Amino acid sequence: MATPLFIGNEIYRHSHLGSKHPLSIPRVSAVMDVCAAMGWLDAANYRESRPAGVDELIRFHTPDYVAAVAEAERRLSIEPEQSERYNLGRGGNPIYGTMFRRPATGVGGSLIAAAHLLQQAGIVYSPGGGTHHGQPARASGFCYFNDAVLAILHWLDRGLDRVAYVDLDVHHGDGVEAAFNADPRVLFVSVHEAGRWPKSGAAEDHGIGNLFNFPVPPGMHDDEMSLLLHDAIAPLVADFAPQALVIQCGADALAEDPLAKQELGNGALWQAVAVLKELAPRLLVLGGGGYNPWTVARCWSGIWAGLNGFEIAERLPPEAEAVLQGLSWNRLAGRSQYASWPPEHWTTRLADPWRGGAIRDGVRALARQARQRGV
């Protein structure tokens, strides 16, 4: 199989949604810098993304909405009626200087990946993607455009007829589910925290039989994620036999994330990617949520290592430590629980200790129900 490809862009380093916005932290740029410091990223396996064009965006999004996002970026303002109609400048979707170009670049990366994987089976990693809440004519949940939907549509438009999508973000992948809930060519799987925004993705929601939602209770730990992976998610994907697979790797279900109440270590997500990547000849791995810069950078860098088979040392080399020590975060809540800030292991190690525990009956029931349904 060909060497995995990493897609990035410097726009993520210089794009800011506002000092108090959860996404105003270094994420993709930090992953790029850590991976480069580790010797894992160079000209041979890195490709620069590009902004998707209007003609590409309107394959899923409505022309009037795309035009409204572009105009709001140009003017740095929006009329109240359009703000309400398109959910722009409100609901966590601010008006800012790259509000069209940044998400369009995320889409461009996923489309580059989709096209590349049609030409050559293999693996592409695009941590700037994973904006799974985007709706056809509305921004939603910090997501202006939906790159995952557009990548899957690219494949379907060109003849693939079995595409699997697995969403590991703590929030339900509602935009992707809505796009494909009546399309038998797409298998949709989402593991998310029950009751958390957008409060969709019930286990009873089956679509036409192609939807499998795992709304887990708060406090999910690594052993519970591993059970769902091995007993339900991986068998579902294997039985579907996809020609291509998308994994959305939101890092907001990790224990240190400020916007959720799960207890995962990054090893649970690394394990999920390692198991699932064997189940399709074409693999697109995306980013997603994640609002602690250190946990996101460490988790997503480790995903890239796993995709390539790179060894993760117990302690990082000085160059990678320096990248993590250079990160900053203006969030004050929760700092008092640590003896130092940031905690030493956030800057010296990539891997979290395995965070296991007793597996709750409700989690076992979710796995059992999915097995009984099958695909």
Catalytic residue list: 133
**Cβ atoms within 10 Å, residue 233:** 26
Kindly report the three-state secondary structure assignment for every residue of the chain.
CCCCEEEECCHHHHCCCCCCCCCCCCCHHHHHHHHHHCCCCCCCCEEECCCCCHHHHCCCCCHHHHHHHHHHHHHCCCCHHHHHHHCCCECCECCCCCCCHHHHHHHHHHHHHHHHHHHCCEEEEECCCCCCCCECCECECCECCCHHHHHHHHHHHCCCCCEEEEECCCCCCHHHHHHHCCCCCEEEEEEEECCCCCCCCCCCCCCCCCEEEEEECCCCCHHHHHHHHHHHHHHHHHHHCCCEEEEECCCCCECCCCCCCCCECHHHHHHHHHHHHHHCCEEEEECCCCCCHHHHHHHHHHHHHHHHCCCCCCCCCHHHHHHHHCCCCCCCCCHHHCCCCCCHHHHHCCCCCCCCCCCCHHHHHHHHHHHHHCC
Rounded alpha-carbon distances, angstroms, from residue 158 to 119, 168, 282:
11, 27, 14
Residues 76 and 52: their CA atoms lie apart, in Å, by 20
Residues 52 and 60: their CA atoms lie apart, in Å, by 12
**Pairing between strand 46-48 and 211-216?**
unpaired
Q: Is 81 exposed, middle or buried (0-12, 13-18, 19+ CB in 10 A)?
A: exposed
Residues 13 and 232: their CA atoms lie apart, in Å, by 38
